[in-house]
Amino acid sequence: QVQLVESGGGVVKPGRSLRLSCEASGFDFSAYAMHWVRQAPGKGLEWVAIISIDGRNNFYRDSVKGRFTISRDNSKNTMYLQMNSLRVEDSGLYYCARDELGDVWGQGTLVTVSS
Amino acid sequence: EIVLTQSPATLPASPGERVTLSCRASQSLSSTLAWYQQRPGQPPRLLIYYTSTRATGVPARFSGSGSGTDFTLTINSLQSEDFAVYYCQQYHSWPRTFGQGTRVDI
């Protein structure tokens, strides 16, 4: 079945790095743009970044520009989010979502940035 | 950045009722607005896109309307599984933005 599975979350200190992965299955991954969306505990949804089907076009929210890098490997059906210089306010559940409209979502991976 | 303001923040309701949720944008979106449902402990689920088109598998009791800056999600005959948080999202411009959510509560 169509599925997205995130991994790579964890507890890190401010200023450190993490790389999140989103593995897709059950559909033609290379035919879809993909997003990352995050949600701080008890808070609303916040769009983070999007990557085009071939990985050549990306957009980020201002607060992560220059620190986060979205990428994908279509041969591995996997999208990544490299997060550098992490801040406390980056903490939350990170979801990957399929397509511009987010018609399929993963269960999320939890990132906690704390000293 | 386009700001989406949802109202009310919390909407008390009862099963069988009809409820209307509002989403107002800080600038015109044309029709590029989507609605998502999020139940506790679950990821968001796409309900409506392009203002009024139901996503695959979404029951007909959910409907969307509006244009420009004012949009509405209507849920007819609330079912127990509809008690959740609802978010609007614009895909008119970057960055994509969500409203702060409306909780539909018993």
Banded model confidence at residue A22, pLDDT cuts 50, 70, 90: very high
Could you tell me if B25 and B35 are in contact, meaning their C-beta atoms sit under 8 angstroms apart? Answer: no
Could you tell me if B102 and B85 are in contact, meaning their C-beta atoms sit under 8 angstroms apart? Answer: yes
Could you tell me if A101 and B33 are in contact, meaning their C-beta atoms sit under 8 angstroms apart? Answer: no
- In this model, does residue B30 exceed pLDDT 90? no
B contacts of A46 (beta carbons < 8 Å):
98
Two tokens at A84?
């550098």
Whether residue A105 and residue B45 make contact (CB cut-off 8 A), yes or no, is yes
- Predicted local distance difference test score (pLDDT) of residue A42: 92
Least CA distance to B95: which residue of chain A? A61
Whether residue B55 and residue A45 make contact (CB cut-off 8 A), yes or no, is no
Give one word for A49, left, alpha or beta, with left for phi > 0 and alpha for psi -120 to 50: beta
3-state SS, residue A77: coil
How many residues can be counted in chain A? 115
B102 at the A interface (CB within 8 A)? no
A27 at the B interface (CB within 8 A)? no
Whether residue B36 and residue A103 make contact (CB cut-off 8 A), yes or no, is no
Whether residue B45 and residue A60 make contact (CB cut-off 8 A), yes or no, is no
Q: How far apart are CA B13 and CA B82, in angstroms?
A: 10
CB atoms within 10 A of CB B18: 11
Could you tell me if A103 and A4 are in contact, meaning their C-beta atoms sit under 8 angstroms apart? Answer: no
pLDDT tens sequence across A80-105: 999 999 999 999 999 999 998 889 99
